[in-house]
Amino acid sequence: MVILITGCSGFIGYHLAKEILKKNKKNKVIGIDNMNSYYDVELKKARKKKLQSLKNKKNFIFIKADIQNEKIINKIFSKYKFDLVYHLAAQAGVRFSISSPKQYIDSNILGFYNLLECVRKYKTKKFFFASSSSVYGSRKNNLFFKEEFDTDKPSSFYAATKKANEIMAYSYSSLYKINIIGLRFFTAYGPFGRPDMAYYKFTKKIINNEKIQLYNRGNHLRDFTYIDDVINSIILLEKNSNKIKSKFEIFNIGASKPTSLIKFLKIIEKKLGKKAKIQNVPLQKGDVIKTKASINKLKKITGYQPKIKIEDGLEKFIRWYTEFNK
Ligand SMILES: NC(=O)c1ccc[n+]([C@@H]2O[C@H](COP(=O)([O-])OP(=O)(O)OC[C@H]3O[C@@H](n4cnc5c(N)ncnc54)[C@H](O)[C@@H]3O)[C@@H](O)[C@H]2O)c1
């Protein structure tokens, strides 16, 4: 298969490309990324370098490109005739979307439209795209989030663009009979993770004796999902996609084990053998109090079971972090 992964130098894109290249020696992966500086570009370069030095590296082609550039994206699609597209490139981050909404329009709306158009024009067989648990917004009850819940009240502009992606993708799927799967990721974490996310910042600041800003006393719940479980879910979904009867579906990709941020922090402290210096600050605009994934739909199609416990996942992350920053 010839596979496109957008955002291949990003956290999830890198891990997905690596796994696909490792699993099947016949797969060809074209990875594109604009290598923007939303967070440390060196980390993006390191991920890219890793992919370019895999045993199977001849099956990986990296193209530095921006998904906003319709001409270049068309050229890439026309050259490679993809069987499968994983669209992961986006402007991520809830908090950044409060101060810089325009970047979310550019990458998440215009860029997303360019991808959809190419998938239609070049008749790609399957299109997977990244949505987010943030589309569920702030919920009053204590239920695990199910895919069929209403998602019309996003708490952040980032979430609004992800919800817009789902609706745009639905219309393309029904108008042009394209097979599309939306993936609602729930707080992925692990080695080569994102420096803008809490677990990364906590680890870095504890090691450097810096103060941690703890929002809402760390009382919010997140359905932290170890990256290997995330990648396994995506691969299983693709493998079992013949069991999916409709052209368009959305799946939660989570661990279904919500944990408070304060507990998460305590595990990091324990693993590092060092206490954090905490400065309590109020909940930030756009943040939601909890995310809890129901993964019954995913399990039913794929038989997926999350494997990695938080203690083990954080240990792997910290081991990678210390090695990477030596
Ligand atoms: N990591 C999570 O917990 C999480 C949770 C929910 C949703 N998501 C979504 O999953 C996807 C992957 O997330 P991630 O954590 O790997 O984020 P990431 O920021 O590490 O990866 C995104 C990559 O896309 C690239 N990119 C951004 N805009 C681009 C553009 N206009 N053109 C080309 N490349 C561009 C970036 O340079 C980056 O390398 C994103 O769509 C994100 O919104 C992630």
What average pLDDT does range 150-155 have in this prediction? 95
pLDDT of residue 203 exceeding 90: yes
- What is the pLDDT at residue 142? 87
pLDDT exceeding 70 applies to what percent of the chain? 100
Dist CA 286 CA 145 (whole Å): 18
b (16+ CB within 10 A) / e for 141-174: eeebbebeeebeebbbbbbbbbbbbbebbbebbe
Domain ranges across the chain: 2-190+225-254
pTM above 0.85, yes or no: yes
Dist CA 217 CA 231 (whole Å): 31
Which CATH number does 2-190+225-254 carry? 3.40.50.720
Instruction: State if residue 194 touches ligand 1 by the CB under 6 angstroms criterion.
Output: yes
If you measure from the C-alpha of residue 85 to the centroid of ligand 1, how many angstroms do you get, rounded to a whole number? 15
* For ligand 1, mutation pick of 5, 30, 36 (most atoms within 8 Å of CB): 36
| CA nearest ligand 1 atom 21, residue | 10
The predicted-structure confidence for 227-237, as pLDDT tens digits, reads as follows: 999 999 999 99
* For ligand 1, mutation pick of 14, 15, 34, 291 (most atoms within 8 Å of CB): 34
- What is the pLDDT at residue 140? 85
Mean pLDDT of the chain: 96
Instruction: State if residue 286 touches ligand 1 by the CB under 6 angstroms criterion.
Output: no
Q: Place 319 in a pLDDT band, splitting at 50, 70 and 90.
A: very high
What average pLDDT does range 6-15 have in this prediction? 98
| CA nearest ligand 1 atom 11, residue | 88
- What is the pLDDT at residue 278? 96
If you measure from the C-alpha of residue 91 to the centroid of ligand 1, how many angstroms do you get, rounded to a whole number? 6
What average pLDDT does range 188-211 have in this prediction? 97
If you measure from the C-alpha of residue 76 to the centroid of ligand 1, how many angstroms do you get, rounded to a whole number? 20
Instruction: State if residue 9 touches ligand 1 by the CB under 6 angstroms criterion.
Output: yes
Three-class HEC string of the chain: CEEEEECCCCHHHHHHHHHHHHHCCCCEEEEEECCCCCCCHHHHHHHHHHHHCCCCHHHEEEEECCCCCHHHHHHHHHHHCCCEEEECCCCCCCCHHHHCHHHHHHHHHHHHHHHHHHHHHCCCCEEEEEEEHHHHCCCCCCCCECCCCCCCCCCCHHHHHHHHHHHHHHHHHHHHCCEEEEEEECCEECCCCCCCCHHHHHHHHHHCCCEEEEEHHHCCEECCEEHHHHHHHHHHHHHCHHHCCCCEEEEEECCCCCEEHHHHHHHHHHHHCCCCEEEEECCCCCCCCECCECCHHHHHHHCCCCCCCHHHHHHHHHHHHHHHCC
pLDDT of residue 3 exceeding 90: yes
Instruction: State if residue 256 touches ligand 1 by the CB under 6 angstroms criterion.
Output: no
If you measure from the C-alpha of residue 92 to the centroid of ligand 1, how many angstroms do you get, rounded to a whole number? 5
- What is the pLDDT at residue 285? 85
The predicted-structure confidence for 256-298, as pLDDT tens digits, reads as follows: 999 999 999 999 999 999 999 999 999 888 888 999 999 999 9
pLDDT of residue 137 exceeding 90: yes
Instruction: State if residue 97 touches ligand 1 by the CB under 6 angstroms criterion.
Output: no
- What is the pLDDT at residue 292? 96
Catalytic residue positions, numbered: 158
The neighbouring-strand residues paired with 185 are: 132, 253
Dist CA 64 CA 127 (whole Å): 21
Instruction: State if residue 68 touches ligand 1 by the CB under 6 angstroms criterion.
Output: yes
Instruction: State if residue 5 touches ligand 1 by the CB under 6 angstroms criterion.
Output: no
- Contact criterion met (CB below 8 Å) for 131 and 112: no
* For ligand 1, mutation pick of 9, 40, 88 (most atoms within 8 Å of CB): 88
- What is the pLDDT at residue 89? 98
If you measure from the C-alpha of residue 275 to the centroid of ligand 1, how many angstroms do you get, rounded to a whole number? 31
- What ligand 1 atom has the least distance to the C-alpha of 87? 41
Q: Place 25 in a pLDDT band, splitting at 50, 70 and 90.
A: confident
- What ligand 1 atom has the least distance to the C-alpha of 47? 39
- Contact criterion met (CB below 8 Å) for 38 and 9: no
